Amino acid sequence: MKEQLESLRNEALEQVNSAEDLKSLQDLRVKYLGKKGPITEVLRGMGKLSKEERPVIGQLANEVREAIESAIKDKQEHLELEKIKAQLAEESIDVTLPGRPVQSANHHPLTAVIEEIEDLFIGLGFSIAEGPEVENDYYNFEALNLPKDHPARDMQDSFYITEEILLRTHTSPNQARVMEAHKGKGPVKIICPGKVYRRDTDDATHSHQFMQIEGLYVDKNVRLSDLKGILTVFAKEMFGEDRQIRLRPSYFPFTEPSVEMDISCFHCSGSGCSVCKKTGWIEILGAGMVHPHVLEMSGFDPKVYTGFAFGMGPERIAMLKYGINDIRHFYNNDVRFLKQFKRA
């Protein structure tokens, strides 16, 4: 039996060494180490041996098993390595070839304008305040001097969810919320960018949803001249250093006095053209001094504090800045349109 085990070890090691692939190696594992293999058969016949021979043959059988297992393991590692080398050689990549170019994304023109405006006002000491798009009627209208029976509400007829909840028609509710949070103590110096909704028929210059940026500055001794200075800086930064501004009297329920701001036409330098409708001026935004009632409703004493507010539409500014003739281009997601503003 001893000679049988020795012969079995030599035979198995020779066949394992000659195996050319993993499948052949697995077959040899089953052949020699399986339940029906020759080593198992030898161990089953140990009952016929004497007590002195059994431990000797048992130890030898284990040594033979271990030798075959070790040889199979080493051979398997060798074959797997060779397989990987062959696969790498067959599927090699020429790393000297230039890679495929990856198209880089760019800012939407509307986003670019909004961020430009935000950066400008942050540089002037303003902070950004955001608020909910689904708003309470009180903050959207009443806190801004627009009670329920006020006719000016007709100008902002919007999408109501309930009688008291609606999609905000402007970002002014953010101003009311921030002033209320300050509990009557200034200064308050914020801009409020965001999406707003109104029941407009979509056309080249109107949309049922659009972006808006409003600004607010409340402190002691804030004057209309301060507003004019801020708006002058804004106009020159956005449209060129040679721009001039003019303020025309207007009406907004939440400011008194109220003004519309025009800039001198950047296309014709004020001589009159189709862009400025032959007037030499282009309307940009609305503004005014915060109405005393609005200050009172937000907890500020109008005898101590004054302030100004302004509001603009980034779409209008982007259309003027980049010569876009239809507001719907901003929301159609036409890649041909967006690619034109890769450097915007």
Q: Exposed, middle or buried by CB within 10 Å (0-12, 13-18, 19+), for 118?
A: middle
Q: Which three-class secondary structure state does DSSP give residue 217?
A: strand
Q: Characterize 127-146 residue by residue with b for buried, 16 or more Cβ atoms within 10 angstroms of its Cβ, and e for exposed.
A: eebebeeebbbebbbebbbb
* Residue that the structure tokens 């066949």 belong to: 15
Neighbouring C-beta atoms of residue 267, cutoff 10 Å? 14
Tokens linked to 41: 């058969």
Which residue from 268, 258, 272, 265 is spatially nearest to 310, judged by alpha carbons?
Answer: 258
DSSP string, 58-109: HHHHHHHHHHHHHHHHHHHHHHHHHHHHHHHHHT---TTSPPPPPPPP---H
Contact 12, 42 (CB under 8 A): no
Taking phi first (over 0 means left), then psi (-120 to 50 degrees means alpha), and beta for anything else, what does residue 242 get?
A: alpha
Helix (H, G, I), strand (E, B) or coil at 242: coil
80 is in an annotated binding site: no
Binding residue positions for Mg(2+): 256
Residue ranges of the annotated binding site are 256
